[in-house]
Structure 1
Amino acid sequence: MELRQLEYFVAVAEEANFTRAALRVHISQSGISAQIRQLEHDLGAALIDRSTRTARLTAAGEAALVHARATLAAAAGVRDAVDAVNQLVRGRLVVGMVTACTVTGLFDALATFHGAHPGVDVSLLEDNSDHLVERVRSGDIDLALVGTATTPPDGLEAFPIIKERLVAAVPPNHPLIGRTSVTLAELCDHAIVCMPAGTGIRTVFDQACAVSDIRPNIALQASAPDTVADLALRGLGVAILSESMAAGFDELTALVLEDVEIPAVLALVWKSAARPALRELVRHTRRAFAEAEAEAEATQLPALR
């Protein structure tokens, strides 16, 4: 019995599919199948029921899964303990990022971290904020950049990066042009273009509407803020964006949402920074965003004089 076989077994159990499990652990499907068959041979029992399209655990597999996870966790703990003593950083980190995010501070942090610790394998994936938060809680993702209405989300540590209000962005010749603010009730008379459920901005907007017992007319949804803005510019609705997002589109006019007090927050979240590799990555991300903020403030100084 080998640790890699236990890792493959846990992957198949969690994915309920040999193909997805093989992609997750970066080997071929035939390779993962062969290793699990060898594990079953060593244990003298079938762990996976292969009679259907879904890979299901047998009774023996259910019993083995708890111990397989504990064994892998213990092995990782041994490595982390030694790394902590020797001040070495190695292993694998999974980093999540809200879909269509273009915050360069995270990319800068990943670049400097990779340069300092090339022995760490870093994977980057995109998803909506709700899914990312849950995957950080489950341990599937180590660190994630998410949009949220609360900081930190329950059970997680967080480093807020941006906190700003939502706005209603309208194109030229829209009936709301000429105003500086609008209420949620007034928005009900217009089609809305916004980001999908599960994103931080949509969560803030939905919560505010629920408090006021308002049901907005969500005409179109798009994951990327640029797409939301483009749809609004084409006259398909009022875009719900953050202040900084709307500021990137000169043709849109941003109106303050008078009765939305909850800010949209962009934050880094993680469950625990006990692992040396994750602790180092958190340190790099804090420094990268602090430097980016200082640079932004420096560029604004001439205009303030």
Structure 2
Amino acid sequence: MDLRQLEYFVAVAEEANFTKAAERVHITQSGVSAQIRQFEKELGADLFDRSSRMVRLTAAGAAALPHARQALAAAEAVRRAADEVTGLVRGRLRLGMVTGCTVTPLFVALASFHRAFPRIEVALSEANSDVLMEDVRGGHVDLALVGAAGGLPGDLSSLTIVSEGLVALVPAGHALAARGEVTLRGLCAYPMVCLPPGTGIRGVLDQACAAQGLRPKVALQATAPGAVAGLAARGLGVAVLSASMAGEHPDLTAVPVSGVGLSALLALVWRKEESTVLRALLPHCRRAFGL
């Protein structure tokens, strides 16, 4: 008895026809018939009643069928387990990261993962958040670090890393520097330096302004938060970033923006159907981010 015979037996039982069963398992009808005859000889019992045009199970065949299905399912489970181990030995991990965002814990997670699975190839790409989420949906990226405005898409699994409000960054001597906060309407009175569309922070700004009927004056935009802050430091506009990004620039004054109503999110997103490699990576991410 071998797995091939069990597969042919189940196919004939479910198709009730040797020809259809042969098409299903991709061999000739004579090949299926010969294997079934050999199987019956080994068991010492007929499995099928062949007296009519439709093949029917005998009592012995009906008794054997559920066990044959269980054996095939067990064999498939063994194959899946072996494939998972193989995937962790020779797999490939494709990561996406929102452009210009340097998040040290993600690099810590990758380093820890690499030490655990040194033969897995890691590929890293950068794009804006909208593009990254589409790449995740399409299966082109396994895991992406993205920014979002207010909420995350329900069709993807996610892990929120940061949720915070907007901050205006200005140099000493600017009119906003002496204020404890600025309203969104007040912010819109000044030219701004922003991250590009497709980032979470820019999404929060644009959506909040649209909700209040405001038109932000975006004088310049840059893909890296450091560049946005650097332009603001030179008097080219008010930088609009998040609180954690503002903390990287102590030479500038951070002024919270009130009345926005949305949070800027930074999150990891992935497809709900997790790959073997991704399931191995996620615990490293949770530990690195303290989640």
Match of 2:283 in 1: 283
Match of 1:220 in 2: 220
Q: SS in structure 2 opposite 1:213?
A: coil
Q: CA deviation at 1:246?
A: 0.9
Where do 5+ consecutive residues of structure 2 fail to align?
Answer: 1-75
The within-5 A match list for 1:1-305 is 81-83=80-82, 86=85, 89=88, 90-290=90-290
**CA 1:269–1:79 in structure 2 vs 1: closer, same or farther (change >3 Å)?**
farther
Q: SS in structure 2 opposite 1:131?
A: helix
**CA 1:175–1:80 in structure 2 vs 1: closer, same or farther (change >3 Å)?**
farther
Amino acid corresponding to residue 167 of structure 1 in structure 2: V
What is the root-mean-square deviation of aligned Cα atoms in Å?
2.2
Contact kept, 8 Å, 2:84 with 2:276, in 1: the verdict is no
Moved more, 210-219 or 180-189: 180-189
Q: Deviations over 1:248-305 (max 9, x none)?
A: 2122111121111211111110013532111011121111111xx8xxxxxxxxxxxx
Aligned-residue sequence identity (percent) comes to: 52
Q: CA deviation at 1:78?
A: 10
Contact kept, 8 Å, 1:169 with 1:239, in 2: the verdict is yes
Distance 1:151 1:187 in 2: 23
Q: Deviations over 1:144-196 (max 9, x none)?
A: 01111244323100111111111111111112221111112112221010000
**CA 1:136–1:122 in structure 2 vs 1: closer, same or farther (change >3 Å)?**
same
Contact kept, 8 Å, 1:93 with 1:142, in 2: the verdict is yes
Distance 2:257 2:203 in 1: 15
Distance 2:195 2:78 in 1: 41
**CA 1:230–1:92 in structure 2 vs 1: closer, same or farther (change >3 Å)?**
same
Contact kept, 8 Å, 1:94 with 1:123, in 2: the verdict is yes
Aligned pairs, how many? 215
Q: SS in structure 2 opposite 1:145?
A: strand
**CA 1:91–1:188 in structure 2 vs 1: closer, same or farther (change >3 Å)?**
same
Match of 1:68 in 2: none
Distance 1:116 1:136 in 2: 24
TM-score, length of structure 2 as denominator length: 0.69
Contact kept, 8 Å, 2:209 with 2:215, in 1: the verdict is yes
Contact kept, 8 Å, 1:193 with 1:218, in 2: the verdict is yes
Q: CA deviation at 1:93?
A: 1.4
Where do 5+ consecutive residues of structure 1 fail to align?
Answer: 1-76, 294-305
Larger Rg: 2
Distance 2:151 2:104 in 1: 21
Match of 1:33 in 2: none
Match of 1:8 in 2: none
Q: SS in structure 2 opposite 1:94?
A: strand
Q: SS in structure 1 opposite 2:155?
A: coil
Distance 2:206 2:78 in 1: 44
TM-score, length of structure 1 as denominator length: 0.66
Q: SS in structure 1 opposite 2:272?
A: coil
Match of 1:48 in 2: none
